[in-house]
Amino acid sequence: MSVVTDDLGLIDTLRQRQVSRLRSRPLRNGHGLFVGDNGRFFRAGPSVQDRLNGGGPSEEDLRFLDGEWHVLGSGSLERRSRRYAEAQRLGWSHRLDYLILVPTLRCNLSCSYCQVSRASLSSTGHDWSDATLAAVLDQIDRLETTSIKIEFQGGEPTLRLDLIKAVIDRCQRFERREFVVCTNLQYLDDEVLELFARDEVYVSTSLDGGAATHLSNRTATDSGTRRFLDNLNMIIERFGVGKVSALPTIDPRSPPEPDELIDTYAGLGFNSIFLRPINFHGFARKRHPESREQQSDWRRYYERFIGRLIERNWQDRSRVLEETYLGVCLRRIFQPGSERHVDLRSPNPVGVDYVVIDHDGTVYPTDEARMLARSGIIDLAIGSVETGWDTPERATLDRHSTNEFDPACRQCAYQPFCGRDVIDDIARYGTIDMPRTETEFCRKHMYLFDLIFELVYSDDPAVRHSVCRWLRLPGTPVELGPTLP
Amino acid sequence: MIQLSLQSMSDAETPFVTRLRATGDSVDPTDSVLVAEDADGATYAGRHGLISILAASAADLDGDVVLVAPGAGRVERLLRARRLDIPTNTLLVTERCDQLCLMCSQPPKKTHHDRFQLLTDAALLAEPESLIGISGGEPTLYKGQLLTMIERVLTERPDLEFHVLSNAQHFEEADVERLCASVYDRVTWGVPIYARDPGLHDHIVGKDGAFEKLQDGLAVLLGAGCRVELRTVLLSDNAPHLAELARYVATRLRFVEAWSIMQLEHVGFARRRWRELFVDHLSDFSTIGAALDHAHLHGVHAQLFNFPLCTVPAAYRHLAQPSISDWKRKFVPECGLCTERERCSGFFEWHPDGEARSAVRPL
């Protein structure tokens, strides 16, 4: 594989012609990918790179670069729209409108990789106290927003339906409301079903593959597995598949066959599968120490999985299956700002637009941070629901929550598409002061963006079909990414 | 076709605005209430005296805000209360224009009758939560009066919105501050752009230097954070260059709320030059489809105006808006069987019947 070597030489040459800063990344087949600060990109072959580095761009090159918005123009429209496009790529967190609430830590299952260090069903002191509930409701009353999203996590939150209902009742003043109950679907009585029947209530659950996989990871008994699957089917049948989202957690040492997982999800009517390997927190860390970083085995598996999605989408055009996170990254490249995904953005401040309120009223910046604290790794609490979270702890985390000024990120072609996650760094390395390229966050996203650009520039009609559907395009254009000939 | 201008008689000496009421309920001082109706028309009484409107039914006119012009013997239905679909009531603020587009549907006139005060009165009487169109001519030729009207109406009526069609030739940097005011959150500027190439754009709008002015105007609107909808009428001149325009919109103009690609109207200048100008999208949709795909690829919401649904390939049909106002919209007999009429633009009243009938494939 040949690489774009003389990056600086290229930039120098182009600057004289008022070409904007371009960062490059080698693609396969000797091509290089060039990305501007506004996120516009193009591909160029080795001969073009030689031309740009050597004698400078030709008239045709400059015309192409201008059409693709890499030549700096003059005038106020140019200045303003450039700033607009760059700002569009920045994460936008405004006011708090998304709460993750943990009304209880108690659970009726004991999953092998439980990320939250559960408490046993009969234990005490693991539910919101009356004072905590009152403080949560008081926080809700103070929100200055017209829309609200609340996720109830646990433990198993349906063990405390009374708390869920108290919160939902208090939210009726908001114009738009969305409540997600994250449940293991073990026990559904009439009261739970009545809650799920409300239009504003959604259900989120874990589904790790076929029955055997789910059994070994989670439910532990055949009857538990059957109960889960029966309940899942019943909910989908009764309320429609739009009511439910399901997430798998994959053990990278023995992942299910892609088709087993896809069949399970597609069979239930789900089109989006969030392929996540076991995460490195809580009890999971003790039981699966090798999960600290994604291994090449996992990446091979991931790629095989994406390949199967593409083949299946091509065979059956009536539905579009997608891997959730690949879709998020892909759309961030082309359609900045089109969706809100708090896991991938920069700046990525904590405690601004969403927070986690734990069973004891402690406030964490993310669910991961809560798990880190529970498993005794580091206490990343930023405050409490009673006293608020405008704290020095939060300010410290926020000071570094951007990739904008990181020396490695500044060199990186993918910076306009990428994000920053200080909590993840701390979780893995105990510090955020790591060369970016040595972090799992960086390696994972470099891998994903490399894969995506390979798909974007693929000639295979099946690949293009899937990529266009994942980008929500009406048609399938011949060219998704431009190439400087 | 629904008539927007009706013959009338009135005792008043000067033009005025009033709302017509079929019954005496909820009388506002500005209302005129029905006193008699017969086969010849309807007669109303209000604070400006009696108005008789010929060949009209009081039920149809109930709630309409009208401009009564005693000298001309007409009433103009400015804001119809019983409009059937989204396209808005439109206030025409002037018939003068500084461009002369080669397909202009409403060729400009040299003279201007200032009626901003009457239009302000009318807008203040609009039905709750309405979106009111403002059009011309070129409304910003009278920028001062226009902005004053917008500010006055939107300050008094926080439930209303305006959509202003403007060629954006007359904004200046000094306007940025004024346009930053919060009332302009409820104003969308519909701005035509026909080509990326300045020469071609200037040729189509019949004005040298128009493209450059347009860029400056858009910069002002962007600088003030205004809401902008771009509009591109398809012509045989610019259709071959649509891809270039799409790329321009997806880069430099990505701040717009929407980009509307519009099919030609068989009226005004376009009527005489129809064969020469009309782009038959039925026989080749590929350039339009590619432009829509390119815009959507880059997160710009592109849509189709004046494209009957059945003439658009299925994959793009959801982008075709019911853009033709009810009063000038028609369907042809072939449309009778169609199940999608509710969502369809239909045809302009003045579209050639033969062409319309042969284009339709009921859904």
Q: Which residues contact B327 (CB under 8 A, 6 or more apart)?
A: B1, B2, B3, B4, B80, B83
Provide the token pair at B192: 């035509």
* B125 close to A (CB below 8 A): no
Which residue is closest to A39 within chain B, CA to CA?
B251
Question: Does residue B265 form part of some domain?
Answer: yes
Which residue is closest to A338 within chain B, CA to CA?
B299
Give contacts of A318 with chain B, Cβ < 8 Å: none
Quick one: A134 and A193 in the same domain?
Answer: yes
Pairing of strands B89-92, A276-277: unpaired
* Number of domains into which chain B is organized: 2
CA atoms within a 13 Å half-sphere pointing along the CA-CB vector of A145: 19
pLDDT on residue A1: 30
Does an H or E element contain A411, and which? helix A407-411
Q: Which of A336, A475, A477 sits opposite B299 (nearest CB)?
A: A336
Say whether A77 and B218 touch across the interface (CB within 8 A). yes
Say whether B216 and A76 touch across the interface (CB within 8 A). yes
Give contacts of A75 with chain B, Cβ < 8 Å: 215-216, 219
Question: Does residue A410 form part of some domain?
Answer: no
φ, ψ dihedrals at B172, nearest 5°: -125, 160
Query: Which of A88, A107, A138 corresponds to the end of one domain?
Result: A88
Residue type, B325: S
Question: Does residue B193 form part of some domain?
Answer: yes
Say whether B222 and A477 touch across the interface (CB within 8 A). no
Q: How far is CA A3 from the centre of its chain?
A: 30
* B294 close to A (CB below 8 A): yes
Q: Which residues contact A110 (CB under 8 A, 6 or more apart)?
A: A118, A220
Q: How far is CA A262 from the centre of its chain?
A: 20
Rounded CA-CA distance B189/B168 in Å is 9
Residues in chain B: 363
Q: Which of B215, B222, B293 sits opposite A477 (nearest CB)?
A: B293
Q: Which of A69, A80, A471 sits opposite B297 (nearest CB)?
A: A471
Of B119, B129, B38, B33, the C-alpha closest to B83 is B129
Which residue is closest to A456 within chain B, CA to CA?
B297
Quick one: A62 and A103 in the same domain?
Answer: no
Quick one: B13 and B96 in the same domain?
Answer: no
Question: Does residue B206 form part of some domain?
Answer: yes
Quick one: B190 and B73 in the same domain?
Answer: no
Quick one: A190 and A285 in the same domain?
Answer: yes
Quick one: B10 and B116 in the same domain?
Answer: no
Give contacts of B214 with chain A, Cβ < 8 Å: none
Quick one: B249 and B140 in the same domain?
Answer: yes
pLDDT on residue A7: 44
Q: Which of B173, B244, B297 sits opposite A477 (nearest CB)?
A: B297
Question: Does residue B350 form part of some domain?
Answer: no
CATH number of the structural domain spanning residue A339: 3.20.20.70
Rounded CA-CA distance A360/A132 in Å is 7
Quick one: A56 and A108 in the same domain?
Answer: no
pLDDT on residue B201: 97
Quick one: B129 and B269 in the same domain?
Answer: yes
Rounded CA-CA distance A37/A383 in Å is 36
Quick one: B17 and B99 in the same domain?
Answer: no
Rounded CA-CA distance B319/B316 in Å is 6
Cβ atoms of residues B273 and B232 within 8 Å: no
Of A382, A386, A379, the C-alpha closest to A361 is A386
Query: Which of A50, A70, A88 corresponds to the end of one domain?
Result: A88
pLDDT on residue A2: 31
Cβ atoms of residues A239 and A196 within 8 Å: yes
Rounded CA-CA distance B66/B77 in Å is 5
pLDDT on residue B57: 86
Quick one: A148 and A47 in the same domain?
Answer: no
Say whether A67 and B244 touch across the interface (CB within 8 A). yes
Give contacts of B290 with chain A, Cβ < 8 Å: 475, 477
Provide the token pair at B200: 């071609």
Q: How close A378 comes to chain B (CA, Å)? A: 40
> Could you give the residue ranges of the DSSP H alpha helices within chain B?
58-61, 116-124, 143-156, 175-179, 198-205, 210-223, 242-251, 269-272, 274-277, 286-297, 353-359
Say whether A69 and B252 touch across the interface (CB within 8 A). yes
Q: How close B253 comes to chain A (CA, Å)? A: 7
Query: Which of B38, B61, B79 corresponds to the end of one domain?
Result: B79
Give residue A18's domain range: 1-88
Q: Read off the pTM.
A: 0.91
Quick one: A104 and A69 in the same domain?
Answer: no
Question: Does residue A433 form part of some domain?
Answer: no
Quick one: B68 and B106 in the same domain?
Answer: no
Does an H or E element contain A98, and which? strand A98-101
- pLDDT per residue as tens, chain B (363 positions): 788 889 998 888 899 999 999 887 767 888 999 999 988 899 999 988 999 999 888 888 988 999 999 888 999 999 988 655 555 689 999 999 999 999 999 999 999 989 999 999 999 999 888 999 999 899 999 999 999 999 999 999 999 999 999 999 999 999 999 999 999 999 999 999 999 999 999 999 999 999 999 999 999 999 999 999 999 999 999 999 999 999 999 999 999 999 999 999 999 999 999 999 999 999 999 999 999 999 999 999 999 999 999 999 999 999 999 988 888 899 999 998 899 998 999 999 999 998 999 999 988
Give residue B100's domain range: 83-305
Quick one: A127 and A201 in the same domain?
Answer: yes
Question: Does residue A484 form part of some domain?
Answer: no
Quick one: B66 and B45 in the same domain?
Answer: yes
Quick one: B136 and B253 in the same domain?
Answer: yes
Rounded CA-CA distance B306/A383 in Å is 56
- Extended beta strands in A147-200, E state: 147-152, 176-182
Cβ atoms of residues A394 and A350 within 8 Å: yes
Query: Which of B35, B50, B79 corresponds to the end of one domain?
Result: B79
Quick one: A127 and A26 in the same domain?
Answer: no
Question: Does residue A191 form part of some domain?
Answer: yes
Question: Does residue A417 form part of some domain?
Answer: no
* B241 close to A (CB below 8 A): no
Quick one: B94 and B71 in the same domain?
Answer: no
pLDDT on residue A279: 66
The residue behind tokens 């004891």 is A360
* Number of domains into which chain A is organized: 2
Quick one: A15 and A128 in the same domain?
Answer: no
Q: How close B103 comes to chain A (CA, Å)? A: 27
Quick one: A166 and A244 in the same domain?
Answer: yes
Of A100, A55, A45, the C-alpha closest to A483 is A45
Rounded CA-CA distance A266/A318 in Å is 12
Question: Does residue B362 form part of some domain?
Answer: no
Provide the token pair at B228: 């902008």
Query: Which of B45, B79, B113 corresponds to the end of one domain?
Result: B79
For chain A, which ranges sit under pLDDT 50?
A: 1-15, 282-283
Quick one: A205 and A342 in the same domain?
Answer: yes
pLDDT on residue A292: 55
Say whether A77 and B254 touch across the interface (CB within 8 A). no
Best of B179, B216, B244, B254 to mutate (most A CBs within 10 Å, chain A): B254
Best of A38, A81, A320, A332 to mutate (most B CBs within 10 Å, chain B): A81
Question: Does residue A469 form part of some domain?
Answer: no
pLDDT on residue A475: 96
